[in-house]
Structure 1
C-alpha cells in the first residue's frame, strides 16, 4: 500500500492534529503575564510616543522645507536686499525665534531678525551637501535647531539661516504623563511633565536610546504605520503603581532585509532624535489566569481524540483492512475458509457479498442472509457522529467560553491615552491647515504687481509638486477669475475665492471642498487659493491603534476620515455625536458601551493661526475594545483560536476520509452486492492505489472466475467446447 494513500494516513493525521491542538490549547491559554501591566497599556504608550515622533519629524521637516521654499520664492522674484528677505519671511512665517543672512565665503552677518542666531557653533564654510538641519547648544546650555537655505543674490550666493527652540511635541502632558526628546546617546534635550528630568526618567532615556539603536522599524511599518524603531519599556514599581514608557525614534531605521532606511527630503532622521513618554499606571495585582480552563479543555480534547480514533479504527480501518485480506485470498482461489464478515456498515455488506461469491465458487448454496444483507449503519453516519463529537468541543470555545464583553475591564489609562492621541490628531489637522495657508501666503508675496501669468504658473506648479496637501492651486483676480492654475480644476465658488481665510467653501459636491485663500498685496487685488486634498487630511489623522477617525464640521457632518466615508454624513452613533458636542472647548474621552465596549474621544480644532476659524470643528475617534490586547480579549481570541484549530483539524481529516474512503467504499458495496446477485457483465476498475482499490481489483478477479466457471459449466452441454480454463488465463484488470 502507498504510504500516503488508504485509510491509515487520515486517521493517523486526525489523531496527531488533535493532540497538537490539545497541546497548543494548554500552552497558549495557560500563559500568564506576570508584569501586572496589560499589553494594551504598553502598546498604547508606544503609539503615544510614535505620535509624538511623527509630529516632531513633521515639524522639523516642515521648518526646513518652509525655509527652503521661501528662499526659492525669493530667488524667483525680483532681487531684494537681505533685510527685505527677512522682513518678508517674518511676515509670512511666525515660527522661528531668529533668522539671519550670512555670506558663506567670509562668514559675515549681512542681516538678522529676532534673537541672535548661534552662528559661532557652526562652520558656514563646511556645511554638508543638502544643508541638513543641525542641533547646536548655546552658551547658556539651551538646544537650538538650525535650518538652512541658499539665497541667490546679485552679489553672489548667500546663506539663509533660521533658529528655533527644540520643543517637545504638542501632546498633552497632564494626568501624570511626561514627554522627553533625547538624542542618540540618551541625553535629554527637551522635556515636559512631572519629574521629566529625574533619575528614573534619565535611566529610561538611556535604555530607550540603547534599545532603539539598530532596531528594525515598528511592526506597523509594513501597513503604513510608524516607519522607524519604536517600542515600550517597564520602569520601577512604587506604591502599587508602575512606570510604563513608550519610545519612538526618528532616526534612520533598518528595514525587513536588514538594510538602513533613509528618511525623506528634509533628513530630520540625521539628527538622531527620539521621543520618550512615561506615565504611571496602576498595577494589576491579580492578572487573569486561565491555566485551569486550559488544562481542562486540553484534557477533554485528548479524551475525545482517543474516542474518535478508536471508533474510526473499529468501524472503518480494521474492517477495511480485513476485507482487503479476505478479497485477496478469494482472488487467489483460497476458498476453503469462510469469509470473516465485518459487522458494520458497508464493510459488512461487502463481506457478505464476498462470502456469497465464495460459496458460489465452491458450488455451495448461498447463505440465507447473504442476499440483501445490510450493515448496522452507514460509514457516512459514523463520520457525522465523529464530526458532531469534535464540534461539541470546538463550538463552545468559539461562541461560549471566555467571552470578554461582560468581564473585560478597560483601564482608565487607555481612555486617557485615546483622548490625548485624538488631541494630537486634531493638532496635526490644525497645523496642516495653517501650513497650507502659510504656503499660499508665501506664494502671494511673489505673484503681485509685475508678476505675469507665466511666472505665477511656474510658482504654483513647483509648490504643488513640493507638497501633497493640495488638490489644486490657482491665482484669481478681484472678480474671482482664474489667472493661473496648477492641479485639478477649481471647485471653490467664484464668490468665495477672494475671501481670506481657511474653511469649507462648498458642501454641495460629492467631496468636501476646503480651501485656504491669501490676498496678494498690491494694486492687482489678486488672491491665491489652495484647495486641500481630502485624502491628505485623512492620512494625517490615520495612526496605528487609534481606530476610526473622523473630521466633522460645525454640524457634526463628516468632511474627512482615515477610512472610507460618505461626505457630509453624520456620525454612525448618537453617542459619538453627544461626545463631540461635549468637547466644544476642550477634548473629551469616554468608554462607550452598547453591547460592546469602545474607546471614544473628541477634540476641537482650537489653537492659533488661520485655522482657528474652524474651532467649532472636531476630530472624533473610536476604537473597539475588542481590538486591544486586554487580558480578557486576549483570552477570548486564544480560546476562539483553539476552537478554530480543532474545527479545522476535524473538517480536514474527516473530509479527507469521506473523499478517499467512505464515498468509494459505498460505491464498492453496491458493486459487490450486484456482483453477488448475478451481475457478471459490469467490469470493475480500481480507481485508487489503496485498500479500497485493492478490494475492487480482487472483486474483478473474482468476477472473472465466476464468468469462467459459468462458461465451463455451459461447455459441458455444448459440443466442441473444452473444460474449464485454468487459472493462468484469468485476466487481471489494468490499474
Structure 2
C-alpha cells in the first residue's frame, strides 16, 4: 500500500523540479540560436549548390572526352575544337601529351599549368579531380579528362617474323573555367567562396549589401573549416560584430563531398554567408512561471499524499490490526486471546474500508454468540475508486492547462522574422537546386538528340543504352514519331499516358494520374541534310522520381514538396501519393500566392501556420524564373515544424506541455497502481466479508496478495473456519460457549 502512495508524491515532486529546470533554461538571446542555425543551413545549401555544379561540370568534361569519336587521323587541333565548341563557360583549353606534358593544341586564354605535374597527374588511375590554380591574380578551376585515340600500329624495329604490335594513345584534355556562379537569396545576404586561407574567390550579394561588414569573419570561417578536417561537409555558424540595433550572423560550410571521396575534396573551398539581423530587445523570462507551476504541483502532491495517507493507509492498517486481533481470538486459547473478541472493531474511513469494518464487527459478535448472521444493504455509497478518480482529476486540474492553454506560442510573433526569412531563402535555394537538376537532364538529353541523326537504328539504340547507363536519373528513353507512337525504346516501360508530340524542348509531365508521377525531359531530333533520318522526331527521357526525391531533403528544412501548376504533388521528401493535394490547406494557399501575373514566374513567400501539431515555418517558391522549367508554373513548398527550431517561445510551449503530460501520466499511473493493488482487492474483500457476516460459511477465502489486504483475507479465512466449526458443533448438539468451541477448534488444528 505504501509504494504507490510514496511514488505518487515523489514522482510529482520530480516533475515539479523538472518544470523549474526546463523552463528556467529557456531564455531569449539578442540573436536567437534559431537564427544562427538558419544561417548555417543556408551556407550548407549554398555549398551544396557549388559542389553540385563542380561535380556536374567535371563529369560532363570526362563524359564528353570519353564519347569523342576519335580516329587514327584525328589531330589535336581538330579534337580540341570538337571537344570545346559547345562549351560556353570555358576560359581556356589545352591538349597535352600525358607522358611528357608537351602542349599539343590550345584554345582561348592560356591555361595556367604552372605547378601542375602533367605526367604525374595523368598517370593516376580513375578520374582526375579538378584543381584550383591562380592566373593573373584570379583563381580558376582546371578540369581534366583523358581522350583515348584508336590503337596505332607500331611496326618499326619489328622482326619480320613478328606481328606488328598495337599501342593505345591518349591525350590529356585540360579546361580552365571560372568558379561556379553563386546563388543567394534573402535581402542583405552576401555569399562568398573562400580558399583555405580565407581569401574571397567569388562574391555575390542579394539586395543591398551591409556597410561595414565584419572583416574578421572570412578568416574565422576558414579557421573553423580547417579545424573540422578536410574532405568533409562540415558547417557552422559565427556571430559577427554589432552595428547599432543589428548584428551580423554568418554561416560557413565546406565544399566537400558528404558521401566519400568527391571531385571537390581537394579544393579546400569554403562558402561563407553573412547577413545583418535585428537584435531582440524584448527578453522573455519563464523562471517565475516555472516556480509558480512547480509550487502548485508540489502542493497538490503533498495534498494527495496526506489525503491518501489519512483516508486509505491509516484506516487500512487499523483494519489489518483489527482483523488479526479477531483471528487470534477465534483460533487461539487463553483468557488473553479471548479478551480480544470483547473489544469492538472501530469503523474507520468510508466506502470499502467502512463496509469491511462493519462486517468485522458483526463477525466479532457472531464469534461471541451475541448475534446471528446479518444482512447488509446492497446499495452503497461512493468507494475508494471515486477517491482515485478524484485524485486523477486533481492532477489533471494542474496538467491540462499546462498542456493546452499556458505558454502557448503566438503564431504571429513566436517565430523571429529572420528565421522566417531564412526558411524562404532556403526554399528558393531548394527550388534552384531542383531547377538545375532538371535543366541538366534537358541539356544532356539535347546533346544525345543532336547525335542521333545519321546513325543506323542499331547505333541509335546503342547510344540510348550508353546514355541510360551514364545518366542514372533516367528510367526510360524513347523516340516518338509524328503520331506519338514509340519507335525506339530502352530502359523500363514508359509511364506516359499523355500521347503528344510537343514542339521544341524542355521538361513536362507525361501522365496526370497513376501510382507514380512521370516527369520527362524532351528534345527535338533534327533532320540533317544528306544523312539518314532518325527513328523518331522527339526524344523523351523519363526522369526517375526517386532521383528527384533524393535531391529534396535538407537538414532543418522540414518536408519539401514539388507541385505542378494545380498544386498537385509531383515529388516530395516525405511519403506521398501521386498527384495528391498538399497535406494542409494553408500550404495550398501559400503555394498559390506565389503565382504572379500571366507570363511571369511569380515570387517566393513565407508564413507561420498553425496546425494540430503546433506552429510550423512554411515557405513556397516558384520552381524557376527562366529556362526550360519556367513556363511550367511548378512550385516548391517547404514546411518545418517550429518545434524543431530553437525558438524560445516554442521551447517554452514544448517544455510546458511536456511537464503537463508527465504530471498527468505519472499521477494517473500511480493512482492506477493504487487501484490495482489496494482498491480493487479491497472491493473484493468487502463483498466476501459481507457474505461471511451474512452466513456464508462455504466460500473459502484465498489471499491473493502478500500485503495488508492479503493479511486481512487470511484473518477472515480463520474466522470463517472457526464459525463453520461452531455451526457444525451446534448442529450435532454439542455446542458449548463460544470460548469452548473456539478452544476445541484450536486443539483440532
TM over 0.5: same fold?
A: yes
* Deviation for aligned residue 1:199: 2.1
Given the superposition, is the C-alpha separation of residues 585 and 502 from structure 1 closer, same or farther in structure 2, using an over 3 Å criterion? closer
Would you say 1:341 and 2:347 are equivalent positions? yes
1:653: which partner in 2? 670
Equivalent residues of 1:79, 1:153 under 8 A apart: no
Structure 1 distance, partners of 2:522, 2:474, is: 10
* Deviation for aligned residue 1:644: 0.8
* Deviation for aligned residue 1:26: 1.0
Equivalent residues of 1:437, 1:518 under 8 A apart: no
Structure 1 distance, partners of 2:717, 2:410, is: 62
Q: Which moved more, 1:317-326 or 1:289-298?
A: 317-326
* Deviation for aligned residue 1:530: 1.1
Structure 1 distance, partners of 2:481, 2:593, is: 43
Paired positions, count: 695
Residues 608-663 of structure 1: CA distance to partner in whole angstroms, max 9, x if unpaired?
5x44555x544344556566433222221221111111111112111222222211
Equivalent residues of 1:683, 1:700 under 8 A apart: yes
Would you say 1:157 and 2:165 are equivalent positions? no
TM-score normalised by structure 2 residue count: 0.83
* Deviation for aligned residue 1:66: 1.6
2:218: which partner in 1? 202
2:182: which partner in 1? 169
Given the superposition, is the C-alpha separation of residues 598 and 137 from structure 1 closer, same or farther in structure 2, using an over 3 Å criterion? closer
Would you say 1:192 and 2:192 are equivalent positions? no
Q: Which moved more, 1:55-64 or 1:668-677?
A: 55-64
Secondary structure of 2:729's aligned partner? helix
Structure 1 distance, partners of 2:671, 2:77, is: 85
Given the superposition, is the C-alpha separation of residues 187 and 46 from structure 1 closer, same or farther in structure 2, using an over 3 Å criterion? same
Residues 146-165 of structure 1: CA distance to partner in whole angstroms, max 9, x if unpaired?
23232221251222333322
Equivalent residues of 1:502, 1:613 under 8 A apart: no
RMSD value over aligned CA atoms? 3.5
Secondary structure of 2:216's aligned partner? helix
* Deviation for aligned residue 1:589: 2.3
Equivalent residues of 1:590, 1:599 under 8 A apart: yes
Structure 2 distance, partners of 1:22, 1:697, is: 41
Equivalent residues of 1:422, 1:603 under 8 A apart: no
**1:663 counterpart (680, 684, 687):** 680
Secondary structure of 1:162's aligned partner? strand
Equivalent residues of 1:73, 1:459 under 8 A apart: no
**2:603 counterpart (584, 587, 590):** 587
* Deviation for aligned residue 1:574: 3.6
1:222: which partner in 2? none
Equivalent residues of 1:496, 1:505 under 8 A apart: no
Structure 2 distance, partners of 1:689, 1:269, is: 69
2:620: which partner in 1? 601
Would you say 1:104 and 2:98 are equivalent positions? yes
* Deviation for aligned residue 1:75: 6.2
Given the superposition, is the C-alpha separation of residues 651 and 555 from structure 1 closer, same or farther in structure 2, using an over 3 Å criterion? closer
Secondary structure of 1:587's aligned partner? coil
2:314: which partner in 1? 318
Structure 2 distance, partners of 1:332, 1:429, is: 87
Would you say 1:72 and 2:73 are equivalent positions? no
Equivalent residues of 1:132, 1:268 under 8 A apart: no
The 5-angstrom pairing of residues 79-478 of structure 1 reads: 80-127=74-121, 128-154=124-150, 156-167=169-180, 169-172=182-185, 175-183=187-195, 186-193=198-205, 194=209, 199-210=215-226, 212-213=228-229, 228-251=233-256, 262-263=260-261, 266-333=262-329, 334=337, 336-337=339-340, 338=343, 339-365=345-371, 371-372=376-377, 377-405=382-410, 408-444=413-449, 446-453=451-458, 455-476=459-480
Given the superposition, is the C-alpha separation of residues 94 and 666 from structure 1 closer, same or farther in structure 2, using an over 3 Å criterion? farther
Equivalent residues of 2:250, 2:275 under 8 A apart: yes
Secondary structure of 1:192's aligned partner? strand
* Deviation for aligned residue 1:680: 0.9
Would you say 1:531 and 2:529 are equivalent positions? no
Q: What are the ranges of 5 or more consecutive residues in structure 2 without an aligned counterpart?
A: 151-167, 330-336
Given the superposition, is the C-alpha separation of residues 274 and 313 from structure 1 closer, same or farther in structure 2, using an over 3 Å criterion? farther
Secondary structure of 1:120's aligned partner? coil
Given the superposition, is the C-alpha separation of residues 697 and 142 from structure 1 closer, same or farther in structure 2, using an over 3 Å criterion? farther
Would you say 1:502 and 2:506 are equivalent positions? yes
**1:636 counterpart (653, 656, 666):** 653
Residues 30-71 of structure 1: CA distance to partner in whole angstroms, max 9, x if unpaired?
224353122332222122112112212211221222222223
Equivalent residues of 1:40, 1:630 under 8 A apart: yes
Residues 348-391 of structure 1: CA distance to partner in whole angstroms, max 9, x if unpaired?
222222232233223333799x9559987410010011111100
* Deviation for aligned residue 1:590: 4.1
* Deviation for aligned residue 1:313: 1.5
Structure 2 distance, partners of 1:388, 1:672, is: 31
Secondary structure of 1:580's aligned partner? coil
1:225: which partner in 2? none
Given the superposition, is the C-alpha separation of residues 726 and 543 from structure 1 closer, same or farther in structure 2, using an over 3 Å criterion? same
Equivalent residues of 1:712, 1:725 under 8 A apart: no
TM-score normalised by structure 1 residue count: 0.85
Given the superposition, is the C-alpha separation of residues 458 and 313 from structure 1 closer, same or farther in structure 2, using an over 3 Å criterion? farther
Q: Which moved more, 1:427-436 or 1:319-328?
A: 319-328
